[in-house]
């Protein structure tokens, strides 16, 4: 495809941004150098001046998603910093659901990914966490974040409301009468009540994680 004179010059950032758009709209399985080139209106070969290959492109994409996370500030209130980090990360991963299983998977992580990890570690260490407890805390915070997102993006309904009612009605109708009493009770008396939204469980779980870590930190420092 011929280059247009008015087309902005390609950069690594613009190539990565186009790849993010492809993955967000079509899924990461549809991502290819040709698909990115089509979005940019260029030949695929021109992308190789800015990314070495598809793996390098994926590294850049994961880096870009990490840049959408709040990076905790060492020396500030660690509970507020990690809470903000988890909440902004959740929003970023809802914008880029393909990234949920990829954020710590890269063998050659980019600078933004490594700087983000450094910020989380610094926030915990400066708050007085030992190296061992820092490792436990980071693993637990990420388990809550990524584990919740795996559930959230896979749900066959959007949090609650009419979609949940429709899905639940189909499930309940298929159950033999008198079976699964606890499932029935939870569904009818809680999940289908006005105002229920599965997404609200994220902050509840995050509070429990932070409270548990704060208690462990206090015990370690006693």
CA distance 44 to 22: 14
Q: 């006693």: which residue's tokens?
A: 222
pLDDT tens digits along 82-113: 999 999 999 999 999 999 999 999 999 999 99
| pLDDT, average across residues 25-31 | 95
Number of Cβ within a 10 Å radius of residue 7: 10
- What domains can you pick out in the chain, each with its CATH number? 12-51 (1.10.10.60), 72-221 (1.10.357.10)
pTM of the complete model: 0.91
CA distance 42 to 50: 13
Q: 């600078």: which residue's tokens?
A: 111
pLDDT tens digits along 111-154: 999 999 999 999 999 999 999 999 999 999 999 999 999 999 99
| pLDDT, average across residues 192-205 | 95
């Amino acid at each position: 495809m011929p280059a247009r004179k008015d087309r902005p010059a390609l950069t690594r950032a613009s190539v990565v941004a186009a790849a993010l758009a492809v993955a967000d709209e079509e899924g990461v399985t549809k991502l290819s150098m040709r698909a990115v080139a089509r979005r940019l209106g260029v030949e695929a070969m021109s992308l190789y001046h800015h990314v070495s290959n598809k793996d390098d492109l994926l590294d850049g994409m994961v880096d870009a998603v990490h840049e959408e996370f709040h990076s905790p500030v060492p020396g500030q209130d660690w509970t507020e910093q990690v809470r903000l980090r988890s909440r902004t990360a959740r929003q970023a991963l809802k914008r880029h659901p393909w990234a949920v299983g990829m954020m710590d998977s890269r063998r050659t992580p980019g600078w933004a990914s490594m700087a983000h990890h450094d910020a989380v570690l610094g926030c915990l260490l400066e708050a007085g966490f030992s190296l061992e407890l820092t490792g436990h805390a980071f693993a637990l915070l990420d388990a809550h974040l990524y584990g919740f997102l795996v559930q959230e993006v896979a749900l066959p309904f959007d949090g609650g409301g009419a979609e949940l009612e429709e899905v639940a009605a189909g499930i309940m109708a298929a159950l033999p009468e008198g079976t699964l009493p606890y499932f029935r009770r939870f569904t009818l008396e809680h999940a289908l009540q006005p105002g229920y939204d599965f997404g609200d469980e994220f902050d509840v779980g995050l509070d429990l994680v932070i409270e548990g870590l704060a208690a462990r930190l206090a015990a370690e420092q006693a």
